[in-house]
Structure 1
Amino acid sequence: MSIFDHPDYDKHESISFINDASTGLKAIIAVHNTNLGPSVGGCRMFPYANSHAALADVLRLSSGMSYKAAMAGLPQGGGKAVIIGDPKTDKSHALMQAMGKFVNSCDGKYIIAEDSGISVADVNQMAKKTKFAGGNTAQYSIDGLPADGNPAPATSLGVFHSIQVAVEHVFNSDLTGKKVAIQGVGHVGLRLAKLLHEAGCELMVSDIFDDNLLIAEKQFGATIVSNSDIHKLDVDIFSPCALGGAINENTITSLGASIIAGAANNQLATNEMDRLLLEKGICYVPDYLANAGGIIDIHYQSIKNGSNVGLCERVAGISNTVRAVLEESSSTGIPTQTVANMKAEKILYSA
């Protein structure tokens, strides 16, 4: 099958592959759109079942980054990279530096950053071989801790603001007493749990690893549930914060929440899920609106006269974008992601 016939191909400008025998690097870089500026997006390292799964992921993730940047009002395009491998066992400095060389071959059309399975330290290794790396240095902090380039605090804050807006839209209330089921309490999900706990929410959490589950249980009073049941709970908000595809043909019939808003990319397994959620009366906050805090952070770190307060205010602006999409969906009967996509495409293709 031709790349151009791939179901997840979406007017991508370029797709590059590498198989570096000396380091074991097998990776793909997808540049979706550079109409607004160089494409920016994280690098994900994951033990994909095969190259077809890796290609599908990088195509979907890269197009989502274009839409995310457009709706966040950033002067950049969307791209993404994936490394096929287990981040717990397959990493090496040589492999990360080989990835940096691969990024360099894109001649500045793609700027790499951290994502699932890749840390700021890994990006620093890549940066030894390319100047086209972002999110590995920082001067402003969103949570009062030393700025280290990790976008997770900004991502979690943006999701928190999105949940606030959705709760106001659906329930005309604040977060006090709301029940939230968080699927995945990694770097972003655990920080989100803290923010929601401080806002007075009751938490249910799941993850494939125990460490952060125990932290959420001990520090935030969260109830630990299984990954297979988290989406079924009778809660106010379901927050997918792990990998994509949480809303699919197997889970959509048993969703127990009134609102879906989380940090995971590509939460809808297919475009049809958007319409089905609307028909079920579930308010869905499009993932690339809710989780835009990370790329906002990366961009803001390059501003010379910024501040910690300014960064927080910039991320808080996600609220206005989410509110506009939810209100337009309610007034027109068009599903929320369709509304967001139309707005993003108008920005992207009229640039």
Structure 2
Amino acid sequence: MSTHVPDLSSAPFAVFSRSDELRDSAHEQVLFCHDRRTGLRAIIALHDTTLGPGLGGTRYFPYASEAAALTDVLRLSEGMTYKAAAANMPLGGAKAVIIGEAGEAASEALLEAYGRFVEGLGGRYYTAADVGTTAMDLDVIGRTSKYVVGRTQAAGGSGDSGYSTALGVFSALEAAASLTWGNNGVADKRVGVEGVGKVGRHLVDLLLDAGARAVVSDPNPKALDRLEGKDAALTVVSSVLGEELDVYAPCALGASLTPESVASLSARVVCGAANNQLLHSGIAELLRRRSIQWVPDYIANAGGLIQVGSELTVASRAEVEAKVRGIQETTREVLHHAVDHDVTTYEAARQVVNQRLVAGRADR
């Protein structure tokens, strides 16, 4: 009797099709979740829990393949380790992705099934919102798991974290701008905000209040409609990268900093909310050669993590805001470290954070 073994090497959704990537990763645990009844296909990745339980959002996205979803969740979860350590939060790095259907929102049954997988990790992973999920979705996930932060205020959570993320980015941007141009910060500077969704639109408000001139782009007309008539200092364009800018603030999806975009970039400061902004780590050296001050994304965009993570420590709203504004001081530390040690800001941030992780392991 022979057993037929199907060839899954070219299948779009095959768990072992990227075993090489899993073998080479430094992650503590990667969980593939499948619920036949709802069609749920999700991946939860725990990168490093040295400083505490892993915390990271759940991204609902129509990935072309399981391989693409795995690559994304591995990168994002590693970034969360560095984000939590940089923010001095007692948390580890983790992330989750749900492979969604294009144009379709996640059903409540699917989210409840996902919550059962989160619950099964017994508190090693706390989930929050990310691209494609909302605080209301978290309320649904919370029906089947208690390890959820960032739910609506009505459900006992701290609500949407978009403003906190934007405030953190603004605080980081102010630090970089002050180092570049002096104490006036972003006042009178032309800032290109790429993506004006739930974070970018708050950042625009903060910039306009600080006296900056905002140039914005977003492929979603509804996102731009929310800004209509907001301020004379606001300009809508098809692409901010083609504009003359003082600051470039990527707040959409990542990898917008490429050899080509860096070569044509007019801005002297790059600081935004998008994750994984560099196409690859070598881009940081290209930015340094052009004397462009880049704030690593996980330093700048930690405000949302601080807000939802503070639910676990029962911090007050004032305490949370003070900690978010503290991102400005962390940014200064990283930028000065880069200058003092003659390294890119990418390396400076990793060195600063690794020192905290090493200290955390020593205290275990």
Structure 1 position 166 matched with structure 2 position 167 = no
Matches of 2:303 and 2:197, distance apart in 1: 16
Query: 1:59-138 residue pairs with structure 2 within 5 A?
Result: 59-86=74-101, 88-136=103-151
Tell whether 2:235 aligns with 1:223.
yes
1:4 positional shift: 6.6
- Letter of the aligned partner of 1:344 in structure 2? V
CA 1:10–1:321: 2 relative to 1, 3 Å: farther
CA shift at 1:266, angstroms?
0.7
Separation (CA, whole Å) in 1 of partners of 2:213 and 2:101: 34
TM-score, normalized by length of structure 2? 0.89
Larger Cα-atom Rg: 2
Q: Give the counterpart of 2:222 among 211, 218, 225.
A: 211
SS in 2 for 1:219: coil
TM-score, normalization by structure 1: 0.92
**Is 2:209 aligned against 1:198?**
yes
**Which residue of the other structure, out of 312, 318, 324, is the alignment partner of 1:315?**
324
- Report deviation, 1:338: 0.8
Counterpart residue number, 2:342: 333
Q: Using the alignment, how far apart are the partners of 1:149 and 1:186 within structure 2?
A: 16
TM-superposed CA distance for 1:275, in Å, is 1.1
Q: State the shift of 1:3 in Å.
A: 5.4
Inter-partner Cα distance in structure 1 for 2:294 and 2:206: 20
Report if the CA contact (8 A) 1:10-1:63 is conserved.
no
Describe the SS at the equivalent of 2:70. Answer: helix
Q: Give, in angstroms, the shift of residue 104 of structure 1.
A: 1.8
> Deviations for 1:125-174, whole angstroms, at most 9, x for unmatched residues?
111111111111559xxxxxx98521111100000111111110111132
**1:142 corresponds to which residue?**
none
Q: What aligned pairs does 1:189-338 form with structure 2 within 5 A after superposition? A: 189-221=200-232, 222-226=234-238, 229-304=239-314, 306-338=315-347
2:353 maps to a residue whose letter is A
* Counterpart residue number, 2:4: none
Letter in 1 for 2:191: V
Deviates more, 1:295-304 or 1:257-266: 295-304
Per-residue CA deviations over 1:146-204 (Å, capped at 9, x if unaligned) read 98521111100000111111110111132211100001000000000011011111111
Match of 1:157 among 162, 167, 185: 167
Residue aligning to 2:193 = 182
The offset of 1:231, in angstroms, is 1.6
CA contact (8 A) 2:136 2:152 kept: no
> Secondary structure in 2 aligned to 1:6?
helix
Q: CA separation of 1:181/1:36 partners in 2, compared to 1, >3 Å: closer, same or farther?
A: same
**In structure 1, how many angstroms separate the alpha carbons of the residues matched to 2:96 and 2:330?**
27
Distance, in Å, in 2 between the alignment partners of 1:128 and 1:288 is 30
In structure 1, stretches of 5+ residues that fail to align are 140-145
Q: Is the 8 A contact 2:33 2:40 kept in 1?
A: yes
Superposed CA RMSD: 2.0
